[in-house]
Structure 1
Amino acid sequence: MKNHGNIRPKESNRWIKIVNNCIFCKIVKKEIPATIVYEDEHTLAFMDIGPIVKGHVLVIPKTHYDPLTETPDEIVAQLHTVAKRIAQAQIDGLGADGVNIMQNNGAAAGQEVPHIHVHVIPRFTDDGHHWNWAAKKYDDFEEMAELAEKMLSSFHL
């Protein structure tokens, strides 16, 4: 598990550089400004400066973790508990008609900052943003079953 927030001497200089240059870690350390929406001992939520829709919030752990698959379950749970509360605040406070809650994991998935974070995006009927998720098709149910089996055989609790 990579916990880049509590770097030990045996960890590489590469990871130290990642944490020292992480924009989210700099926000946590108050080295750069952010508009904070929520903060507790382990979690920080702030306005995204490049929002998909106005009111877009990022929820991060105060300790540097990445990727999702190496982040402790309790941290992932805390991020989503806060995301749920932010979503309700967007509905109640901003009048959002719906909310997208997303976590992009890895560059291929669109992750730009290598510090686990959850996007909480208020949605309005007329906000003009549309996800372009073109649905793909499986050749047959057998192909689907084979892929499911590959995942299940690697599943860890």
Structure 2
Amino acid sequence: MPAQAPRRRRPKRRGMSEINVVPFIDVMLVLLIIFMVTAPLLHQGVEVDLPRAQAQPLDEALQAEEPIVVTVSRDGAVTLNQGPAADTPLPPGALQEAVQALLAGDPETPVFVRGDRFVRYGEVVDAMVTLQAAGAPRVGLITDPPDEAEGSG
């Protein structure tokens, strides 16, 4: 009987005790690029220089829900803060239809006008009349509080 050849023992495989962090770094770099690109896009709106007035702040009930804000900029462009064309200038005559569509869901939604301090008064009044024709029960005006230096004069 031939002698059996000694069996070779396979060396035991040891588990890897290292963590490959390259995929994590790749993901972090992609996220960093996404945030760097989207951050400037998050701050949108129309720049207006609001008139200063001493007015009482609105009560919390009106501030809790998202109001409809119509902005009349210095050049007379009218924009809305909600809807499909948010923060883009509306063509003449489109304000009433856009506000009617927004008020159809909740007729008690607060409606405000932000008029630039240098815009013609008539353009702000036209916006307010259009809002009332669209069915807004009340229309408020948004102002900035006066500076402390201006308040002493």
Q: TM-score range by the shorter chain?
A: under 0.3
Radius of gyration: which is bigger? 2
| Superposition TM-score, scaled by structure 1 size | 0.23
More strand per residue: 1
| Superposition TM-score, scaled by structure 2 size | 0.23
